[in-house]
Amino acid sequence: MDLILASGNPHKAEELNELFKDSKLNIQASTEKLEVIEDGISFQENAFKKSKAYFDRFKKPTLADDSGLVIPARTDILGVQSARYAPELATYTEKNQALLKDLEGLKERKAYFVCYFCFYLNPEEVFFFEGRVHGEIGLKAQGVDGFGYDPIFFPDGKEGQSLAELPQWKMEHSHRAKAVKEALKFFQNF
């Protein structure tokens, strides 16, 4: 099954094809980036909005994801706004430093990355899959692999190592990898 990725990022299509490599799903980069306003109150709602917008435009099955970092003790930051945190800062290195400063003195640093996939095959067939990886926000950034908030997120069971130091582990155990596994289980019998 061919799906158009509801994103303007061709690298994300490559990454998803690698994750879906043992399936019948083929993720195609979109030929056009659509401006979709992500004003939903949940990751699931934003993934749906993106997937439906691309389906409406191209009239072909689409796949969208919405992901972010959630800190339960600080629900006023990140969450569905993760990509829009500290918009005045140009790089994630700067954003990570700003976030660490925002969290100074916070004792409860548990956090999780979440990913929601929305497969919009047609208006009657819309499917969602979720993946999460739990951990905590460190006191400083570590590692150079990965992107976004990876250098300050330390997954459970990997004490002392950030996601930015665990690229192989991340490919198998990240929030996105877990959502892929759920989708694969479903689509193998589709």
Q: Is 176 helix (H, G, I), strand (E, B) or coil?
A: helix
Angstrom distance (rounded) from CA 101 to CA 73:
15
- Sheet containing strand 125-137, edge to edge, reads 26-28, 2-5, 62-70, 110-122, 125-137, 153-155
The single-letter DSSP state of residue 124 is T
Cα–Cα distances (Å) from 120 to 21, 24, 36, 64, in that order, read: 20, 16, 15, 8
**Furthest C-alpha separation in the chain:** 50
Which residues, in sequence order, are CB contacts of 131 under 8 Å at separation 6+? 114, 115, 174, 175, 176, 177, 178, 179, 180, 181, 182
Angstrom distance (rounded) from CA 173 to CA 166:
10
- 66 catalytic? Reply is yes
Question: Which one is catalytic: 39, 56, 66, 156?
Answer: 66
Q: Are 128 and 118 in contact (CB under 8 A)?
A: yes
Q: What residues act catalytically?
A: 66
